[in-house]
Structure formats: C-alpha cells, structure tokens
Amino acid sequence: MRLAQRLDNVETSAIRELFKLLGKPGIISFAGGFPDAALFDVDGIREAVLAALEHEPGAALQYGATEGFDPLREQLAAFMAAKGVTGVAPADLIVTTGSQQALDLLGKTLISPGDTVIVEAPTFLATIQCFRLYGAQLLTVPVDGQGADVEVLQRLIAEHRPKFIYLIPTFGNPSGAMMSEARRRRVLELAVRTRTLVVEDDPYGDLYFDAPPPPSLLALSAQVPGSRECLVHCGSLSKVLSPGLRIGWMVAPPRLLAKATMCKQFSDAHTSTFAQATAAQYLAAGRMPATLARVRAIYAQRAQAMVQALRHELGAAIEFVPPRGGLFVWARLSGAGGACADGAELARRAIDHGVAFVPGAPFFARDPDRATLRLSFATVDEDRIREGVRRLARALRG
Amino acid sequence: MRLAQRLDNVETSAIRELFKLLGKPGIISFAGGFPDAALFDVDGIREAVLAALEHEPGAALQYGATEGFDPLREQLAAFMAAKGVTGVAPADLIVTTGSQQALDLLGKTLISPGDTVIVEAPTFLATIQCFRLYGAQLLTVPVDGQGADVEVLQRLIAEHRPKFIYLIPTFGNPSGAMMSEARRRRVLELAVRTRTLVVEDDPYGDLYFDAPPPPSLLALSAQVPGSRECLVHCGSLSKVLSPGLRIGWMVAPPRLLAKATMCKQFSDAHTSTFAQATAAQYLAAGRMPATLARVRAIYAQRAQAMVQALRHELGAAIEFVPPRGGLFVWARLSGAGGACADGAELARRAIDHGVAFVPGAPFFARDPDRATLRLSFATVDEDRIREGVRRLARALRG
C-alpha cells in the first residue's frame, strides 16, 4: 500500500512511547497535558445535557450546520465578550471539534506544500505535526518570560513572508509563558504593517492564578486598526469544562472562515450537536464563572507547590519562570554541579525513580533545546507533587 | 490572503444554494439526506448519557485515546458480529467523528495529488469533494439496479491502477442501489487479484425494508481469501441512532489503521468521549434491535408510499428502481411526452409548486446525467409524500 506523500513529513510522537510506561504502578505523573478530571463539573454537565434533550432533542441529536449550533455560537460570543472581546458576533466564529480541529482546518485551508509557517520555540507538539502534514516548512521564534521575541519575529517575517504565524500567547503548552501586553500590541501592529496572518491559540487564557493575563490578541485587536483582518483566534472549552465534549471555536476574517467551513464540511460535517447543545445549555445556565474560580484556585495551589518544591529540591540544577496560569512548569536543566542536563535522559531515569515528565526537545520544530522539560502539576495533589519532585531530585542526582 | 492550492480543486456545493430556499413556508421537502429526528430514541439516549456520567464521568468527559473509547470499540465489534462479520476485534477498528471523518482520514492517509480514485456514478457528494481536496483525480464506474458495474470496474483498475475504489454497496446515497451478492464477491476477488484497496462505506445497510441485504463486503471478506487485507469498511450510527453524536468507525488493515490514527490525532485528537461513552452505554443496554425494527418499518412505509405515488402521478415520465432500503428514491426523467428531462430545471420549478428535491447531476464526479434526481422519503409522512408527489407532477407538467 502506497501512503500519501504528506506522511513522509511526520513521525509518530516520541512522547507516545513514553506514555506507554505511565501505567507502571505507583508512578507520579507530571507528564500529562490534561486538566484534572476530578475538577469537572459533572453535575452541571448532567443538568445541561438533560436540558438539551428536554428542550431541543431534535437539534441535539440531528445533523447540524457545519458552522456550529447557533445557540452555542451565541454563548461563545458572549463568553468572549465577558473577557473584553468586542465586535465579535456569533456569525464571526465557527465551532470546531476541539481546537485541534481549528489547527487542522487552518492547515487544510491555507498551507500549500512548501509554505512557511512561523511557530514558537517551543510550541504545542500536535501543531507541529498537523502543519507538517499539510507540507509546511516551520520556522521558529524563541520564547522568553515575556512570550515570543518580537524582534526575531519581525526579521523572520521580512525574510520569509510566511503564510501565517502561530502563537499561544497566554500560558502556552509547553512554555507556560505569558506574552506581555506591549509585545501583544507589537505583534498586531507587525501583522497589519506586513499583512501577515497571525493565529492566536488560546486554550489556557482562562486558567490564570492571581491577576488576569493581558487581553488576548483578539480583545486587543479592537485597539489596533486593521488587525482584526489579520487575526485568527482559536478558543476551547477543553481545559476548563471538559475535553471530552471536543468543543473548540475559531474566529477568523469572513473569507477565511467561509473556506475553513467548507473544509470542515468534508472533514467531519459538523461538530457533535449532542456536545454542542450540552455546552450551550451549560454556558446559558451561568455555571462557568464558579467553575473557573474553583479550578483556578486549585491549579494555583498546585503550581505553587511545584514551584516551591522544585526550588527546594533541585535548586540551581533547574531554571524556570514560575507560571502565572495554565497547567505547566517549563524548565531547563542547568547542568550545575555536573548534574544531568539532558531532558530525555532524565525522563528515562525518572521513570525508574517513580516519577514521569515529558522531555522538552520534541516541542521544538527545529534546533531542539535538549536540556528542557515540561512538568504538569494539573492532575496531582500537593503532597504528591512534593513527593514527585523529591523523586525527580533523586533521579537527577543519580 | 493566499489560500492553499488544494482549494482550487473544489467548489461550494450547488446544493447548498438550493437548501437556502427550503425555509419557504409550506414546502414539502424530499431534499434532505437526513434521518427523521422524530424517530430518534431520545429516552434511550437520555438513559445512556446518565449511565455514562454515573459510572464513568472521568472517561466520558476527559481526553481519550485517538483510536476511540474502548468500551465503544467493543460494542461496535459486537454490533458488526451480530450482522455476520467475523474476525474483527475491537482493536481492528477506530472510532471516527462520523463516517465523514473516515473518508477524510482515508484521503489524508492515502491520496497524493494526482492519484486516481474510482467512485460510483452517482456517489455521495461530500466524498467527491473530500477526495478532491486531497488532490484525487476521480474516475467513475456506473451503477445499475445491481450496484456498480464490475466489468467496467475491472477495466478501469487495469488501465489506471487507482489508489483505491470507493463503493457504497448497500442503499447508497444517492443511488439507493443494492449491489448483488455475486457482484460483491467479484469485487473482493478483483481486489485480491489486482491488489487494489476497496473502501466500503456502509451507513445505510441497517435500514432494509423487507429482507436483509446481502452480506457487507466486510462480512463476505471472510469467504474470499486475502480480501480482508484489501478492504476498508466505514460504519456509522448516524442513520439509525443519531447523527448528532457524530459516531462512525473504520475497519482497515493494521498498517493503514495505524497511519489513519496518526492523522486523526492531528485532525481532532479524538472523537467526543462524551458521545462515545453515551453510544457505548446505548449499545450495551440492548436497545438497538428494537430501534432498528421501528425505523425500518416506518421508512419502508414511506418508501412504498413514494414509489406508488410516483408511478401513479408521474407514470412514464419517470424511471426508477424501487429501493429495498435506505432513505432515497433515485430517479431519472424520461422526457416522455415532451415532459421536462432536466433535474435542475425541474427542481427550480418544483420549489414554485411547493416541493423540493435535489437534482442528480452534482452526484456525478464526471459526465453528469442531468435527467436524474434524488428524492428522500425519510422525513415526510405518507400523506405529505403523496401530496408532495402530486406537486411534483404539476411542476413536471408546467
């Protein structure tokens, strides 16, 4: 069987191999990229699905419009408006099967083989693979504590005229970094000036710990003339409400949105109306603010526990910027005192010591920094986080 | 904004334009491709989702394996086994976001630009567009009352060495045709002899009216040595249980299945676990046989009403093979007595007379037969079917 040529561009993730080891009894896993299922508002979702089946069983179970279930589009527009987004009507967004599908539709709609796309270094692994499947050549812009480096971005745009730029400006996976408001403005201005499309992926922005993050690029675009026409925004209910619903959405300029909708028609016809009607009822019921407050508080405690334990147990052997939201600590092994400075090597040793995490190298589309690692605190309670970090320290020492 | 080159291969469906007219008050629509929402087992689905949230809320709401939710894969394997499929284990199938996604994954995994794919004439419209988006050159094999013409298929395979053959052997959309068992065997033998991959799309096979159809290609493959390795089978719960769940599945040889799974990972990560857990509970509860019996009986009555009304009202002006299952009558205007013989023209006139249907031409990947039309009886009760056909007769006359 001859496979399509596009498959030559990707490989099965090295991380998948690691995940097979996670079933080992007693292991403490910082490896997942998942929210904590114990925090899901099961009662709220039950009420929502019962309401959907009671009030609109036909709509909830029948085929629906490719663009999405209108009551959900209205709720999502209102959800964004409550976060400071102005001028985005329900018709300006389509519902996607998780925000992963938004990435896939962008790839399908925009990327011809050989096109250049700029992503952050590091960035979300499935983004790298998704865009490569459509034949993208990926260039990378480095990320520091303030987000993507806009100077480098500007130079790359000038040199390579990319098809688009893909950013996760707020608590991104894996970097956890929060792009400053100043840089956000500069990104939008740069997009307008160079007529470059910017894709903002924002699944984690709601998960801040103390103060809210700066406005999303979408919210900020109201203040930068012309930038809305250069901007795609991808949202998701997966990190707060439930990944199992597979509800994401995409805001894009009208022509692009129409073409992405056409592509979606031939990808999966539409996102589950059963899940969409449930999500619409959930949002309409007004339970989201309380759910958000609860998960923010718990993830904040877990993040703090991990940050303190890492400093206490690993000290100078590890460097990181404490996250201000999201699910991850992104760290770098300094090699201080001759300790291990290879994330993959440490990940292997860590399994033997009963703790798992994901090495950082695969998150780089090119020029991997092999000293990096991603630690998720999301699904582990504070005592286990401290124990896990102790095991990590033992693994590092030998 | 420069769109991807692959978009040059497709256009927005002409049918979509027609559908905009369907909101006209009082119109009787034979245009849909939908099952009747009034027949959905809402009580059963409510029980199923409550059971899923009660017994496995974490699994139903959390991220899941790309391959699918294991309890559902087990139920689907058992569902097929009950229809005579042997030797298909849960691990031999993946769950897809509707069977539309199975087509998309086959395109992504197999089709390089310029590859030849053979489809039936006529075939499912979204299949044509889906494969073209991946750059397929489509060739067509004609369909008669016994299904696809295997002589023509054999010649096309020899001449063009296609990437694969796509067939809807049982009550296909739009032809409604049922491929004979003899031809099914010949298709499998031909696949083995020429080492050609055959894709069987089977969303309608459960919807037979009187006697069950011949075994699916998948069931029959147990009797044709080597054919399982040349066969992909796509199933769906959309036509009987609920399209809104977006639950389909794909059985394929292991290497192809693994690559399609990788592609799915970057398409939508996985199909809604909320919907999968609900479907698994529904199937496990044993409600499917009674649901099937009920919808078969009702669609059979509606099909009979339409067939009789067409014969009575349109007589020699229309030719068709009465369907033995599915949702459609596929017909051809004979032009007898100088009557309209153009499906698109008649569709326009029909709207003015208060009845809608879909002209057949768009269902041909090439060389459209413009005299054809697709009439769905699925969502209209018998009295309205008779009234709709009377309107159609009036439209035909003037």
- List B residues 339-398 in contact with A (Cβ-Cβ < 8 A): none
Task: Please give the CATH architecture assigned to the domain spanning A5-40+290-397.
Answer: Alpha-Beta Complex (3.90)
B273–A98: do the CB atoms touch at under 8 Å?
Answer: no
A263–B101: do the CB atoms touch at under 8 Å?
Answer: no
Percent of chain A with pLDDT over 90: 93
Contact residues on chain A for B263, CB-CB shorter than 8 A:
7, 133
B212 by DSSP, 3-state: which?
coil
pLDDT value at residue B248? 98
pLDDT value at residue A11? 74
Contact residues on chain B for A238, CB-CB shorter than 8 A:
63
Q: Of B151, B143, B141, whose CA–CA distance to B118 is shortest?
A: B141
Which of B241, B266, B379 to substitute to test the interface with A, most A CBs within 10 Å?
Answer: B266
Q: Return residue ranges of chain B for CATH 3.90.1150.10.
A: 10-40+290-397
Residue A337 has pLDDT above 90, yes or no: no
Q: Angle formed by the axes of helices A181-194 and A150-160, to 10°?
A: 10
Q: Return residue ranges of chain B for CATH 3.40.640.10.
A: 43-286
pLDDT value at residue B33? 87
B63–A263: do the CB atoms touch at under 8 Å?
Answer: no
How many of the other CB atoms lie within 10 Å of CB of A365? Answer: 25
Work out the mean pLDDT of chain A and round it to a whole number.
Answer: 95
| Fold (CATH) for B43-286 | Aspartate Aminotransferase; domain 2 (3.40.640)
Task: Please give the CATH architecture assigned to the domain spanning B10-40+290-397.
Answer: Alpha-Beta Complex (3.90)
pLDDT value at residue B22? 66
In this prediction, residues B358-379 reach a mean pLDDT of: 97
Query: Does A12 reach chain B within 8 Å, measured CB to CB?
Result: yes
Tell me the pLDDT tens digit for each residue of A38-74: 999 999 999 999 999 999 998 999 999 999 999 999 9
In this prediction, residues B280-298 reach a mean pLDDT of: 97
Percent of chain B with pLDDT over 90: 93
Residue A331 has pLDDT above 80, yes or no: yes
Work out the mean pLDDT of chain B and round it to a whole number.
Answer: 95
Residue B303 has pLDDT above 80, yes or no: yes
pLDDT value at residue B21? 64
pLDDT value at residue B18? 64
A100–B267: do the CB atoms touch at under 8 Å?
Answer: yes
Tell me the pLDDT tens digit for each residue of B163-207: 999 999 999 999 999 999 999 999 999 999 999 999 999 999 999
Confidence of residue B11 (pLDDT cuts 50, 70, 90): confident
Confidence of residue B12 (pLDDT cuts 50, 70, 90): low
B356 Cα to chain A: minimum distance (Å): 19
In this prediction, residues A140-167 reach a mean pLDDT of: 97
Contact residues on chain A for B269, CB-CB shorter than 8 A:
98, 100, 126, 243, 246
Bridge partners, A235 (sequence order): A249
Tell me the pLDDT tens digit for each residue of A159-194: 999 999 999 999 999 999 999 999 999 999 999 999
pLDDT value at residue A322? 97
pLDDT value at residue B23? 65
pLDDT value at residue A17? 62
Q: In chain A, whose CA is at the least distance from the CA of B2?
A: A110
Residue A150, CA distances (Å) to A113, A155, A222, A296 in order: 26, 9, 20, 29
Query: Does B196 reach chain A within 8 Å, measured CB to CB?
Result: no
Q: In chain B, whose CA is at the least distance from the CA of A136?
A: B4
CB A58 within 8 A of CB B37: yes
d(CA B351, CA A167): 48
Q: Of A164, A263, A264, whose CA–CA distance to A217 is shortest?
A: A164
Residue A21 has pLDDT above 80, yes or no: no
Tokens of B124: 């499912």
Q: Return residue ranges of chain A for CATH 3.40.640.10.
A: 43-287
Q: Return residue ranges of chain A for CATH 3.90.1150.10.
A: 5-40+290-397
How many of the other CB atoms lie within 10 Å of CB of A231? Answer: 24
Query: Does A246 reach chain B within 8 Å, measured CB to CB?
Result: yes
A273–B244: do the CB atoms touch at under 8 Å?
Answer: yes
B256–A1: do the CB atoms touch at under 8 Å?
Answer: yes
pLDDT value at residue A41? 98
pLDDT value at residue B110? 98
Cα Rg of chain B, angstroms: 21
- List A residues 30-59 in contact with B (Cβ-Cβ < 8 A): 34-35, 37-38, 40, 42, 45-46, 49-50, 53, 57-59
Q: In chain B, whose CA is at the least distance from the CA of A127?
A: B266
CB-based contacts of A277, cutoff 8 Å, min separation 6: A49, A52, A56, A59, A60, A69, A71, A72, B244
Interface A-B: count of C-beta contacts within 8 A: 219
pLDDT value at residue A23? 65
B133–A108: do the CB atoms touch at under 8 Å?
Answer: yes
Contact residues on chain A for B230, CB-CB shorter than 8 A:
none
Tell me the pLDDT tens digit for each residue of B214-251: 999 999 999 999 999 999 999 999 999 999 999 999 99
Q: Of B209, B230, B216, whose CA–CA distance to B328 is shortest?
A: B209
Bridge partners, B120 (sequence order): B141
Confidence of residue B101 (pLDDT cuts 50, 70, 90): very high
Tell me the pLDDT tens digit for each residue of B339-352: 899 999 999 999 99
- Give the nearest partner residue to A272 out of B108, B115, B272, using CB atoms: B272
Which of B267, B278, B281, B295 to substitute to test the interface with A, most A CBs within 10 Å?
Answer: B267
Residue B89 has pLDDT above 70, yes or no: yes
pLDDT value at residue B251? 98
d(CA A223, CA A232): 16
pLDDT value at residue B13? 62
Confidence of residue B15 (pLDDT cuts 50, 70, 90): low
Which of A11, A198, A246 to substitute to test the interface with B, most B CBs within 10 Å?
Answer: A246
Which of B16, B36, B47, B62 to substitute to test the interface with A, most A CBs within 10 Å?
Answer: B62
A244–B60: do the CB atoms touch at under 8 Å?
Answer: yes
Confidence of residue B392 (pLDDT cuts 50, 70, 90): very high
d(CA B13, CA B39): 28
Query: Does B21 reach chain A within 8 Å, measured CB to CB?
Result: no
Contact residues on chain B for A38, CB-CB shorter than 8 A:
58
Query: Does B295 reach chain A within 8 Å, measured CB to CB?
Result: no
A343 Cα to chain B: minimum distance (Å): 24
CB B98 within 8 A of CB B124: no
d(CA A125, CA A305): 26
CB A121 within 8 A of CB A160: no
Contact residues on chain B for A112, CB-CB shorter than 8 A:
4-6
B289 versus A25: the higher-pLDDT residue is B289
Q: In chain B, whose CA is at the least distance from the CA of A3?
A: B110
Which of B3, B19, B34, B39 to substitute to test the interface with A, most A CBs within 10 Å?
Answer: B3
Query: Does A133 reach chain B within 8 Å, measured CB to CB?
Result: yes
| Fold (CATH) for A43-287 | Aspartate Aminotransferase; domain 2 (3.40.640)
B336 Cα to chain A: minimum distance (Å): 37
